[in-house]
Amino acid sequence: MSELANKVILITGATSGIGRATALHFSALGAKVVAASRTPSAGVKLVAELTSKGAQARFIATDVTKNEQVRNMVNYAVSEFGRLDFAFNNAGIFAPEPRLHEHEDETWDRVVSSNLKSIYTCMKYEIDAMLSLSNDDTQPRVIVNNASIIGHRGSSASGVAYTAAKHGVIGLTRQVAVDYANDNIRVNAVSPGPTLTAATKSRLDAPQEEVNARLAALNPTGKLVDVEHIAKTVAFRCSPAAQMINGHDIPLDGGQLAKL
């Protein structure tokens, strides 16, 4: 996708898992990457890796639940590279939750703030920058939000706050896509199923046959989603080939949502 070369992408939650894979993929396509996360040491390491391969990359420590830090993050991206073409709002948390009648308000607020309000805050400042910086109305600008297949239905593996937040991300994506469709800004989402990350590997402490059986019960392929596949889907959403895709969510789940 040579069309993404020299474009500027801002990625939250960029130092591990899906975010890191996306930063690596976009930099390999020639994009300029602004990576954000709450882990400065990992951010420095990521930027060093990207620049060693000839990429242009920056890092800014950011807690996406903090309004002022999000504002500073977007301003930093613009100050470093002069524009903002794409954003992948990927940061979020997943934590064990009790059932609703045992839930604490503090847990609800923390999970929803990290997974839904943060998307609202990021888009607020990203869109403002995209609108104010565009000197060419034909230049597409794209936001991709990381939702989840749990944003499509309930799950025994999830909790009420996470499930509600991820449903909210998909609804928020659709509404903002409609609101800015005539401003040449497209807004879409991706919904990964269970994904192979360092955190997932640490939880798969079982014989391979047992792991395969668990996965087969989730989706027809019997496999975890690979982070590189998600990164490539985000890149496709940002490419001219996806110019008529707006306000949509793509599940990457091996057919899990299609299976009863």
Q: Evaluate whether residue 209 is within a structural domain.
A: no
Q: Is 162 a catalytic residue?
A: yes
pLDDT of residue 222: 78
Specify whether the CB–CB gap between 234 and 207 falls below 8 A.
no
pLDDT of residue 44: 96
Q: What is the CATH number of the domain that holds 6?
A: 3.40.50.720
193-216: buried (b, 16+ CB within 10 Å) or exposed (e) per residue? bbbbbeeeeeeeeeeeeeeeeebe
pLDDT of residue 216: 63
pLDDT of residue 208: 60
Domain range for 241 is 2-194+226-252
Residue by residue, DSSP assigns 222-251 as --PEEHHHHHHHHHHHHSGGGTT--S-EEE
Active-site residue, from 76, 125, 162, 180: 162
Q: Evaluate whether residue 203 is within a structural domain.
A: no
Q: Evaluate whether residue 216 is within a structural domain.
A: no
Tokens 């391979």 belong to 208
CA separation, residue 90 to residues 52, 123, 213 (Å): 24, 12, 29
Tens digits of pLDDT across the chain (260 residues): 578 999 999 999 999 999 999 999 999 999 999 999 999 999 999 999 999 999 999 999 999 999 999 999 999 999 999 999 999 999 999 888 999 999 999 999 999 999 999 999 999 999 999 998 765 656 789 999 999 999 999 988 899 999 999 999 999 999 999 999 999 999 999 999 888 776 555 555 666 666 666 666 777 887 788 999 999 999 999 999 999 999 999 999 988 899 86
pLDDT of residue 219: 77
Q: Evaluate whether residue 199 is within a structural domain.
A: no
pLDDT of residue 215: 66
Tokens linked to 181: 């469709």
The identity of residue 45, as a single letter, is K
Question: What is the number of structural domains in the chain?
Answer: 1
pLDDT of residue 235: 97
Q: Evaluate whether residue 217 is within a structural domain.
A: no
Q: Evaluate whether residue 201 is within a structural domain.
A: no
In 3D, which of 30, 33, 62 has the Cα closest to residue 48? Answer: 33
Q: Evaluate whether residue 116 is within a structural domain.
A: yes
pLDDT of residue 64: 98
pLDDT of residue 206: 61
Q: Evaluate whether residue 218 is within a structural domain.
A: no
pTM of the model: 0.93
Specify whether the CB–CB gap between 250 and 188 falls below 8 A.
yes
